[in-house]
Amino acid sequence: MPMLSTHPLKPDIMHLPPGTSESPGCQRRHTLPASEFRCLTPEDAISVFLIEREAFISVSGTCPLYLHEIQHFLTLCPELSLGWFEEGCLVAFIIGSLWDKERLTQESLTLHRPGGHTAHLHVLAVHHIFRQQGKGSVLLWRYLHHLGSQPAVRRAVLMCEEALVPFYEKFGFQALGPCAVTVGSLTFTELQCSLRGHAFLRRNSGC
């Protein structure tokens, strides 16, 4: 998939700090693994936003999460994120947080509820160089396995545009109906996935 949006948010384009590169973030290490999956940290926030900005703003003029929101979630709940790195460079990622209600609301877009048992997937994005290679599918599968290894997390939920529903259904998500959250004239379908079916595959996601 060229990009996978769980929901767009604000139309304002955020300016990056001076001198920030447009290329995916690379880690300067003496030995870089060819391919690595790990939870993201606040230090990855700019790399995440660069990929997200290109994927979403170029198409819809909005982003699911902006830089300060990315930093917020990667500080509060990094264990609910997953990044795919190739030779130290971020090429794809998912960011989530915990939610404590049955259905998503406007508050769920920006809040992390530590006592919740639902993982809310805010965004999945792939760097444009690495699209059309199945990386979004591989990353989502690994992410669901990673969530299944966390006893407190019982299900995953997301909101997406109608055209993306079949993609998520391939991973066990089931449509709950129209989402209560709208952005301007855009409407979304809310989906959920029980993590019990993924729990037995508790492979190490690198987190």
Task: Say whether 168 is catalytic.
Answer: yes
What is the bridge-based pairing of β-strands 174-178 and 118-126?
unpaired
Tell me, yes or no, if 121 is annotated catalytic: no
147 half-sphere exposure, CB direction, 13 A CA radius: 30
Nearest Cα to 96, choosing from 157, 149, 187?
A: 157
Q: Enumerate helices (H) and strands (E) in the chain, giving the number of each.
A: 4, 8
The amino acid at residue 11 is P
Active site residue 97: yes
Total Cβ atoms within 10 A of residue 54:
16
Catalytic hit among 111, 117, 128, 149 = 111
Selected catalytic residue, list 5, 81, 97, 108? 97
Q: Among 4, 40, 74, 124, which one carries the catalytic annotation?
A: 124
Among this protein's residues, is 111 annotated catalytic? yes
**Residue from 122, 127, 146, 198 carrying the catalytic annotation:** 122
Residues that are catalytic: 97, 111, 122, 124, 168
